[in-house]
């Protein structure tokens, strides 16, 4: 079940905590975990949305189980107490080191959004800049960076928002998008939902339609999807470690 290409083969330290995997939406099939000392779990979650999405699952994936997801889930490392005590940090850099898991992650999003008349992929700084551009190129959309304050050189619109560990401001270039365009918003992770909600607010303020938000990981305990209003959320993996 688990891939041979693991963090061990890449000479990385092993994940600090392991991820036991549970298929979502079907009677809980527990997949084997690769270590036995887990205090957290990542669960598979290959379906949209607290709210109805116009996007249908790709052919053959209607049951919500994508065979590529266990490897993606197991490639994500969890670091306790980073960046401060009490935070279980979901580290996607180990996913990026695993070429198959990284490619599969991008492919799953591309398969979902290709041909859906989406002209904008909005990526949230910083980790949305990793997943957003390859998706944008593959579906023929432009990539629009949603940046931290004072990084964009042109005229910006901005919005303040709250995080699991602090507050921040998000900015977007004026003129990057046009009213009526259809967008997806990409980030690595949804926690409290403040970040995605801010991106939605910025885009909707200029008349862009949010087709869906997409993340690799959701921390469901933090109920972030409740902050997204009408925007559906598509995620690959959930983690109990918030
Ligand atoms: O759902 P939320 O509670 O808003 O949290 C999610 C956001 O937090 C992380 O970014 P972070 O703010 O750590 O910024 P970084 O990627 O620049 O380090 C993550 O990449 C999301 O963007
Ligand atoms: N637990 C977490 N891991 C990684 N990024 C985060 N952003 C907010 N919470 C996070």
Percent of the chain with pLDDT over 70: 74
Distance 191 CA to ligand 2 centre (A): 6
Ligand 2 atom at minimum distance from 242 CA: 1
Distance 93 CA to ligand 2 centre (A): 13
Question: Quick one: pLDDT at residue 30?
Answer: 23
Q: Rounded to whole angstroms, how far apart are CA atoms 155 and 176?
A: 10
Topology of the domain covering 29-239: Rossmann fold (3.40.50)
Annotated catalytic residue, options 112, 127, 147, 225: 127
Q: Whose CA is nearest to atom 3 of ligand 1?
A: 192
Question: Quick one: pLDDT at residue 163?
Answer: 72
Q: Whose CA is nearest to atom 21 of ligand 1?
A: 189
pLDDT, one tens digit per residue, over 44-79 is 554 445 567 888 765 545 556 899 999 999 999 999
**Residue 96: C-alpha distances to residues 40, 45, 50, 102, 164 (Å):** 21, 20, 28, 5, 24
Specify whether 164 is catalytic.
Answer: yes
Q: Please choose, from the candidates 98, 74, 69, 66, the residue with its C-alpha nearest in 3D space to the C-alpha of residue 20.
A: 74
Mean per-residue pLDDT for 124-131? 98
Question: Quick one: pLDDT at residue 32?
Answer: 23
pLDDT, one tens digit per residue, over 13-38 is 333 333 333 222 222 212 222 222 23
Mean per-residue pLDDT for 117-141? 98
Say which residue, 121 or 49, is predicted with more confidence: 121
Mean per-residue pLDDT for 93-108? 98
Answer for the pair 105, 131: CB distance below 8 angstroms, yes or no. Answer: yes
Tell me, using a 6 A CB cutoff, whether residue 232 lines ligand 1.
no
Tell me, using a 6 A CB cutoff, whether residue 87 lines ligand 2.
yes
Distance 40 CA to ligand 2 centre (A): 14
- The answer to whether residue 1 scores a pLDDT higher than 50 is no
Confidence of residue 166 (pLDDT cuts 50, 70, 90): confident
Task: Name the closest ligand to CA 79.
Answer: 2
Specify whether 127 is catalytic.
Answer: yes
Task: Name the closest ligand to CA 192.
Answer: 1
- The answer to whether residue 2 scores a pLDDT higher than 80 is no
Averaged pLDDT of the chain:
81
Percent of the chain with pLDDT over 90: 69
pLDDT, one tens digit per residue, over 189-203 is 999 999 999 999 999
Ligand 1 atom at minimum distance from 190 CA: 1
Alpha carbon 63 to its chain centroid, in Å, reads: 20
Q: Rounded to whole angstroms, how far apart are CA atoms 89 and 81?
A: 7
Question: Quick one: pLDDT at residue 3?
Answer: 25
Ligand 1 atom at minimum distance from 124 CA: 22
Instruction: Count other Cβ atoms within 10 Å, centred on residue 104.
Output: 19
**Residue 143: C-alpha distances to residues 11, 32, 106, 215, 231 (Å):** 33, 38, 14, 16, 19
Q: Number of C-alpha atoms within 13 angstroms, CB side, residue 178?
A: 5
Annotated catalytic residue, options 100, 111, 125, 164: 164
């Amino acid at each position: 079940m688990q891939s041979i290409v693991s963090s061990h083969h890449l000479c990385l330290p092993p994940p600090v905590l392991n991820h036991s995997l549970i298929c979502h939406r079907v009677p809980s099939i527990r997949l084997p975990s690769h270590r036995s000392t887990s205090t957290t779990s990542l669960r598979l979650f290959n379906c949209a949305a607290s709210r109805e999405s116009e996007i249908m699952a790709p052919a053959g994936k209607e049951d919500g189980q994508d065979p590529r997801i266990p490897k993606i889930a197991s490639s994500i490392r969890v670091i306790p107490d980073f960046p401060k005590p009490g935070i279980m940090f979901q580290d996607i850099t180990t996913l990026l080191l695993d070429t198959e898991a990284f490619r599969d992650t991008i492919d799953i999003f591309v398969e979902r959004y290709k041909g859906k008349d989406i002209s904008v992929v909005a990526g949230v700084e910083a980790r949305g800049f990793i997943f957003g551009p390859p998706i944008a190129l593959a579906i023929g959309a432009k990539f629009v960076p949603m940046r931290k304050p004072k990084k964009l050189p042109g005229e910006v619109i901005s919005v303040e928002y709250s995080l699991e560990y602090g507050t921040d401001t998000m900015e977007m270039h004026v003129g990057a998008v046009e009213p009526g365009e259809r967008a997806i918003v990409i980030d690595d992770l949804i926690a409290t939902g403040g970040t995605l909600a801010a991106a939605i607010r910025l885009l909707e303020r200029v008349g862009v339609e949010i087709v869906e938000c997409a993340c690799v990981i959701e921390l469901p305990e933090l109920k972030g999807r409740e902050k997204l209003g009408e925007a559906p959320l598509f995620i690959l993996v959930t983690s109990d470690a918030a």
